[in-house]
A and B are shown apart, each in its own frame.
Chain A
Amino acid sequence: DAGVIQSPRHEVTEMGQEVTLRCKPISGHNSLFWYRQTMMRGLELLIYFNNNVPIDDSGMPEDRFSAKMPNASFSTLKIQPSEPRDSAVYFCASRQTGSNTGELFFGEGSRLTVL
């Protein structure tokens, strides 16, 4: 299995631009998580999907952030407009079907720099 696949691995953009991060979970995993990691705030859960339905989006910072999961094999996290404080590593993680307590498999992350 290829694991959780994220793209792009690195993105540098200017303030005000739209950013779209993509994630393909492991096949058969029906739970998907988006985390943001910074030195100051550590690993923050942004949103959590179960069977493509957002279960908890309380971690989404503000209306500039949106996430979708149109099908079981694809999710996007969009920031519009982006701001310098959005600079971080964004991780997508997935979990095996039927396991509310199983391990998370993380992708390699998307490092976002907003100038």
Chain B
Amino acid sequence: GQQVMQIPQYQHVQEGEDFTTYCNSSTTLSNIQWYKQRPGGHPVFLIQLVKSGEVKKQKRLTFQFGEAKKNSSLHITATQTTDVGTYFCAGVTTDSWGKLQFGAGTQVVVTP
């Protein structure tokens, strides 16, 4: 079945540094979504990418969808303590009735 792999599992970042988390699918995706979960909270939608090669930005966050629509990345510049949390990618395949398959998430810890 479809598998969505996400790396790294943990990311320890100094405040002000940049980092990237990567998401790879075993099958071609219809679209990919990114969610953020704060400690003790619930996943909250960040963005959806649909087109091959699409790049979207939200302030310090840059999201990219690969040309083959099988991988995606999230890059955060100038990390702040408010970026703490776990970032999940979730892929949707064309034949999955819109079912989202979540990656394992990247847990981000920011050191002031």
Contacts and interface: CB of A to CB of B under 8 A. Distances in A.
A48 interface: yes
A42 B99 CA distance: 16
A48 B43 contact: no
A93 to B, nearest CB: 8
Q: Chain B interface: which size bin?
A: 20 to 34
**Majority DSSP secondary structure for residues of A touching B:** strand
A104 B92 contact: no
A3 B13 CA distance: 33
Interface in B4-59: 30-31, 33, 35, 41-45, 48, 50
Contact of B48 (A45, A55, A103, A106): A103
Nearest to B9: A42
A108 interface: yes
A101 B42 contact: no
B85 interface: no
Interface of A: 31, 33, 35, 42-43, 45, 48, 50, 55-56, 91, 93, 95, 99-109
19 contacts: A35-B102, A42-B102, A42-B103, A42-B105, A43-B43, A43-B105, A45-B99, A45-B102, A50-B97, A56-B97, A99-B98, A100-B92, A101-B50, A101-B98, A102-B48, A103-B33, A104-B45, A104-B100, A108-B42
